Chain A
């Protein structure tokens, strides 16, 4: 990496080298039979160069030809992408607190052990399809730049997933368990999911009406995508955000705070972002008041603001980090915990739906906050009890009206396959359209 940096600098450029290395193994079963076994060892490196107010960018999956990589970046530089920032001087940081060396040696046998642990909890599920998975992996990131930064991050993860699919469908409920050394399988969480699964097997036709809707952590991305799109510095810079004139104004229920803090969480903690800026806690929405857009280096410089560690690579769909330049990102944001337990929130529902999964959350006018999603599954609740799952139904609205009607936020969260644990959110008077 240092050699690559030196070659780039020898062309009179300021430079940044961003590299990743990932190793993973995974095994999955369907109804007890192993159906997939796979592994991956992936490396990648990208190079950003700055010269005369212009930016060049290039990347590769191997460092077999450093000169080619630099030449690609120089060719990109000539295209004339204008910038007005410098790479940060963040010193030397090595963050390995979330790394356990023993994970390096884990393979298919350990993945199977995780599956076997899950298997005992799911043994009395007799309807639908039971899919279990286990695996482990390590991930490294290194950022070097000509401002003297040398930043290193390494973490490990071990995971187990239990998925229950309703008979004749691919729709169901998941339990995801993960930790840096072990999957940390929580029997209580798994058993609660199994209980809800069994209660929700009957299909219920709900027709068209307004009712209470509880967003479970599993489907929270449908809301957070819209919040992220609207509060991005990019949307402010381009003057297309619906929050453009709403800074320091109440836009949601006071029960809702949406906080970005990459340094907290179960997995995936980051003490610097993908540009080398120190991360920390920032409330994007505090008690329903919109407080600040979030920036990367580029948009912070354009808008004369200070970046606070929200420049990450990858977008809504993830993708290979090395193939994209950093952009404003709330990949580490979650709703702040409230005061009600999940059971208390459930008891507040006379008639309503728990959104455990959504279909089509990526469709529609996301920037505008429009939300029209298939409930897949939507667990139907009457008088505080899960009594079935809704058949062919959607919920619809706009987050700026929906999230004004929040009546409770959960006081804890469970891990899903997104990085951050979100609490459940209960919303009153939401339009549900059914067959």
Chain B
């Protein structure tokens, strides 16, 4: 395939051209309650062409190989249309690479039958359905096995296979007309091992869903909070991580100034690292979709900005080192800057000491989606507890938090000595990125706006 792609690169007239071909094999097993709703495996594929000409840059996606010449023509035409009308696009220099990468899988999903995947999912699903108050589940096994072939006119030719698996969904409890749901997810990028012997996870999620039926909606207001590692991951991803993506601050002069390397925007104890190379993590890959080897990037050290995530285009624009974070959802999209795995470095307190330092406030647990816009962010918590004098009190629900990046980062007061990374990603910045890993310890933050209901 790489040789075929290299032939397609010839004679375009572009100053630079790359073509990515991707085969995406997916297996899905979907249960709605006790009913199997979908099961099967499929193979899809497509091409992404990008061209640089006279300082203009353009991308085209197609699904048919016979359309690739038209895609090359359109990409060059698009780049020419941009030339002289905006920024003069320059791609940061990188060394050409020829490589083939296989993931380190503990149990290759390709070697497991569809029947066994159905049985595994059904086991966890049934387990939850038999628990107290559980009215329904929506659970799915999802396997995404991508074989990517990248070639460029600079001589890079890379084949990399990335494979993620998960069993995830929601468990719904209902009693006396009240309905509550909790998410459940296991998975990773290291094969089927991540999915085996995990009954405890699903039992716990069912128990929390049931407990939520007796929880009170949280009252809206401004609270001091401790967020648990799962929520810390969402928080770091949404509140800070997106602003370390160069494309999100590039054309916003005020944000770009505020996010200048060397600026102190966090409290002294905040250190944040983008480490996509942590083995077996959901965010793991070796080369991004521009053929650049990914690097570990300290983004913030002791509250001071130390790094930023880049594509080749933005690395040149910012005159900063290339990082290898330009990634596409699949063959349907050109790559954009994504985080890979990002985490907040842990502290030294125990969780009890952290809650003691909080004294009165909320202990919020497990992410329920987040969103960012400019320096503002929101994220939901699946459940929480009122903390009184450092002790866990009653359970609360319906928790959504809003904050401002620059205010909140300075209000981080302490963290505990735990460290947990997410097993499943899902970032919706224009495209879905299931390879967005995140995590950290439990964190004490002062003065958070909680919406309540």
Contact = CB atoms under 8 A, between A and B. Distances in A.
Interface residues of B, number: 92
Contacts of B371: 359-363, 374
Contacts of B77: 107-108
Given A39-B74, A363-B379, A238 B373 contact: no
Interface string B158-187: 000000000000001010011111000000
A7 interface: no
A303 interface: no
B369 A363 contact: yes
Contact of A170 (B85, B331, B373, B432): B373
Given A34-B85, A242-B179, A360 B252 contact: no
Contacts of A242: 177, 179
Given A61-B46, A81-B37, A360 B400 contact: yes
Given A82-B36, A112-B81, A168 B252 contact: yes
B57 A372 contact: no
B371 to A, nearest CB: 5
Contacts of B79: 37
A317 B36 contact: no
Nearest to A55: B38
Interface residues of A, number: 84
B334 interface: yes
Interface string B47-85: 000000000111111111101001100110111011001
Given A61-B44, A431-B452, A434-B449, A168 B255 contact: yes
A365 B180 contact: yes
A367 B181 contact: yes
B263 to A, nearest CB: 14
B39 interface: yes
A57 B86 contact: no
B449 A433 contact: yes
B95 interface: no
Nearest to A21: B63
Interface string A360-385: 11111101101111101000000000
B58 A37 contact: yes
Contact of B63 (A43, A75, A357): A43
B251 interface: yes
Nearest to B137: A238
A433 B86 contact: no
Contact of B44 (A166, A323, A370): A323
B179 A79 contact: no
B374 A170 contact: yes
Contacts of B398: 364-365, 370, 372, 396
B404 A39 contact: no
Given A61-B44, A323-B42, A169 B368 contact: no
Nearest to B87: A33
B374 A435 contact: no
A364 B380 contact: yes
A80 B36 contact: yes
Interface string B353-395: 0000000000000001111111111111000000000000000
A262 to B, nearest CB: 24
Contacts of B59: 37-39
Contacts of A27: 78, 81-82
Interface of A: 25, 27, 29-31, 33-35, 37-44, 56-62, 68, 72-73, 75-76, 79-82, 107-109, 112, 129, 165-171, 208, 234, 238-242, 245, 317, 319-320, 323, 325, 357, 359-365, 367-368, 370-374, 376, 392-398, 431, 433-435
Interface of B: 26, 29, 32-33, 35-46, 56-65, 67, 70-71, 74-75, 77-79, 81-82, 85-87, 114-115, 118, 135-136, 172, 174, 177-181, 217, 220-222, 248, 251-252, 254-255, 258, 331-332, 334, 368-380, 397-400, 402-404, 407, 428, 432, 449-453
16 contacts: A34-B56, A38-B61, A39-B60, A43-B64, A62-B45, A76-B40, A108-B78, A208-B220, A240-B174, A365-B181, A374-B373, A376-B373, A394-B220, A396-B400, A433-B450, A435-B404
Given A41-B63, A238-B33, A435-B449, 8 more contacts: A34-B85, A34-B86, A76-B40, A317-B432, A368-B181, A395-B451, A433-B220, A433-B450
Give 6 nearest A-B pairs by CB, closest first: A363-B380, A76-B40, A169-B374, A168-B254, A360-B378, A79-B39
